[in-house]
Structure 1
Amino acid sequence: MDSPLVFIGAISLCFGALLVLVLVVLRPHYAAIPIERRRPEGQPEQSALTRFSESAANAMGGVIGKSGGPYNRELLYNAGIKMSPAEFSSFVAALALAVGVLFTLLSNPLIGILLAVTTPFAGRLALTVLRDKRRAKFDSQLTGTIQMLIGGLRAGHSVMRSIEAAAQESEAPTSEELSRIVNETRVGKDAKLAIDDAAQRLDSEDFRWIGQAIQINREVGGDLAEVLEHVASTIRERSEIKGQVRSLSAEGKMSAYILMALPIGVAFGLAMINPKYLSVFVEKPIGFLMMGASALMFIIGGFWMSRIIKIKF
């Protein structure tokens, strides 16, 4: 940064990105009911910061369109993020700008640009991790959910009433998914289709079995509570096997994470301590070839290790 004006401009961009970041994250998220229904007397006067954050989100919504871009509404819902695609995209864009400017000031422009470009991919990866955690939490709550369904059926309630009671007594994400099933059936959606859609969203084979048991009971009759007891026993045994598999593969997963993070961590550390030490990678053609080859080997090695530690049964 030879010119003080360039340095001041970079600092201003960094603070502007952080401001947008804070406004989007801390922006209050109300219920889905329109504000004119919640406050019939009129809308409260909005502050300038609120109008600015809404304008940024609306502008991003015009860019990404109705599909939501890479952060679509279904992915955000499955990850448990209570933000619209436009708001989350604005958050990622502001974060990318802030990270890029910050590392440009601390190290060199190339590192800042690379980090700014990889930030959207990191956001997508974070959503995938949150989605998988939400699915795993749902699976861990499934046995208790079945027991509540069995209790409701034996008390004389219907299937949907039992699902509604289980939704009220359960924790998220089970309560969210069961409530969505109940609401969809109330507006006319078939119960089997609603349960199958929930099983597909959660990628839960066990929950799909529950839907099949309910559908068979609707067609041929019988004691659904007893059938669900057998299903719960099977799910419990599968959960024990899954726990054993996770225990046996934990060491391999940790080794893969360390081996994948070590080169990146060392490179960032050297860039922060002595930026000139890595200048050969950004100043000479052989450096670009080495970076390209390293990235290709990194991707191949990461995919190889992910296949090794991913056990299907």
Structure 2
Amino acid sequence: MDNLPLLTIGITLLTCVLGVVGVHVYSAGKAQRQLLVDRMSHTGQMPVVGARRRRFTGIDRRLRNTGLGKRIERKIAVTGLDLTPGEYFIYVFAGLLGLYFIVGAVFAPFFGVLAALGGLWGGNAFLNWQRVKRTEAFINQLPELTRVLANATQAGLAMRTALVMAAEELDNPAGEELQRVADQLAVGHSLDDALGELAERLPSRELVVLVTTLVLSSRAGGQVVTSLRNLTETLEERKETRREVKTMLSQIQVTALAVPLLGLGFLLMINATTPGALDKMTGAGLGQAGTVVAFALYSVGFFLIRRMSRIQV
């Protein structure tokens, strides 16, 4: 293999990074265990363990003071991931190093640079995907949510109390998001503001309709139970329609992924039949420009197929 030294350097660097992370995790776990032992020796009871111990606190503290760190923090906040900006930054950085050395060793060093640049986009796309995934999971719980709210209001409970009850009964992500709403209401926020922030965190047509119904009912009164019952039936029908549309478009989604994978497969075939061909191709400026244009066209094809298959229900 022509790129054996590069692959060796990449694996060595990646091993060093993983070794440092492993030592850090081990030392943090050992310190936490010693802290638990000290507490038990003083109290004689098992202490209550809170949230997990955060890693890379120094990097996280410095990163939060920058514009990049604040943007990362806002994106993570709406995904429901148990990550800090510092942890996310370190994991993405380690992933970029791995992509550069592995792809550069398999194809050519220039492809490693392109893979690292694609990894930057992939890190942001991962957060967006998590947000969409969490929003869809919340939408699937909306019929159950409206049913709980309708039953609670029919029993004579106020809307604030009904939201607290729904937060306790529903699973995540609905339970976690409604608990945020309940906490905001407990510290003095209005129902309009709390529900409005919920709609901003998880943007969807169904949630906007529910929030509008609850806000109008709290302002003007009216048959809130009847409105919630009708909304429950509508959301159940929309849920089934969304599932059918997603099933029908699954083949198109696979096609969108197959288009760029075919290009990578052809590159592997070329490099396997003629060893060193990719190094020669990307060794000149014209070859690098052609490679960038080819990857750009594959990316355009991927996004166009995804765009044409996106149907708003």
CA 1:136–1:25 in structure 2 vs 1: closer, same or farther (change >3 Å)? farther
Displacement of 1:23 after TM fit?
6.9
Any conservation in 2 of the 1:148–1:166 contact (CA below 8 Å)? yes
**TM-score for the superposition, normalised by structure 1:** 0.80
Deviation by residue 1:26-74 (Cα, 9 ceiling, x = unmatched): 9989xxxxx9xxx8x9xxxxxxxx99x53xx423552563444486223
Instruction: Give the aligned residue type for 2:75.
Output: L
CA 1:79–1:28 in structure 2 vs 1: closer, same or farther (change >3 Å)? farther
Summarize the alignment of residues 1-313 of structure 1 with structure 2, pairs less than 5 Å apart: 10-20=10-20, 53-54=55-56, 57-59=57-59, 61-63=61-63, 65-69=65-69, 72-105=72-105, 108-267=108-267, 275-313=275-313
CA 1:109–1:251 in structure 2 vs 1: closer, same or farther (change >3 Å)? closer
Instruction: Select the structure with the greater relative contact order (CA < 8 A; seq sep ≥ 6).
Output: 2
CA 1:85–1:172 in structure 2 vs 1: closer, same or farther (change >3 Å)? same
Give ranges in structure 1 of 5+ residues lacking alignment. 30-34, 42-49
Deviation by residue 1:215-266 (Cα, 9 ceiling, x = unmatched): 2222222231111111112222222332332233222222222123321344
CA RMSD of aligned residues (A): 3.4
Report percent identity of matched pairs.
Answer: 22
CA distance in 2, matches of 1:130, 1:261: 23
Give ranges in structure 2 of 5+ residues lacking alignment. 30-34, 43-52
Displacement of 1:305 after TM fit?
1.4
CA distance in 2, matches of 1:23, 1:204: 43
**TM-score for the superposition, normalised by structure 2:** 0.80
Instruction: Give the aligned residue type for 1:307.
Output: R
Displacement of 1:89 after TM fit?
0.6
CA 1:177–1:270 in structure 2 vs 1: closer, same or farther (change >3 Å)? farther
CA 1:224–1:23 in structure 2 vs 1: closer, same or farther (change >3 Å)? farther
More displaced, 88-97 or 270-279?
Answer: 270-279
CA 1:216–1:104 in structure 2 vs 1: closer, same or farther (change >3 Å)? closer
CA 1:98–1:273 in structure 2 vs 1: closer, same or farther (change >3 Å)? farther
Displacement of 1:6 after TM fit?
8.5
Q: Aligned pairs, how many?
A: 292
> Helix, strand or coil: the match of 2:234?
helix
CA 1:311–1:26 in structure 2 vs 1: closer, same or farther (change >3 Å)? farther
Any conservation in 2 of the 1:100–1:115 contact (CA below 8 Å)? yes
Displacement of 1:204 after TM fit?
2.0
> Helix, strand or coil: the match of 2:189?
coil
CA 1:151–1:86 in structure 2 vs 1: closer, same or farther (change >3 Å)? same
Displacement of 1:20 after TM fit?
4.8
CA 1:139–1:7 in structure 2 vs 1: closer, same or farther (change >3 Å)? closer
Any conservation in 1 of the 2:260–2:299 contact (CA below 8 Å)? no
Any conservation in 2 of the 1:79–1:127 contact (CA below 8 Å)? yes
Instruction: Give the aligned residue type for 2:156.
Output: G
Any conservation in 1 of the 2:138–2:174 contact (CA below 8 Å)? yes
Displacement of 1:268 after TM fit?
5.1
CA 1:105–1:286 in structure 2 vs 1: closer, same or farther (change >3 Å)? closer
Deviation by residue 1:67-119 (Cα, 9 ceiling, x = unmatched): 44486223212222111112111111122223323444555433333333332
Instruction: Give the aligned residue type for 2:18.
Output: L
CA distance in 2, matches of 1:296, 1:97: 22
Instruction: Give the aligned residue type for 2:309.
Output: I
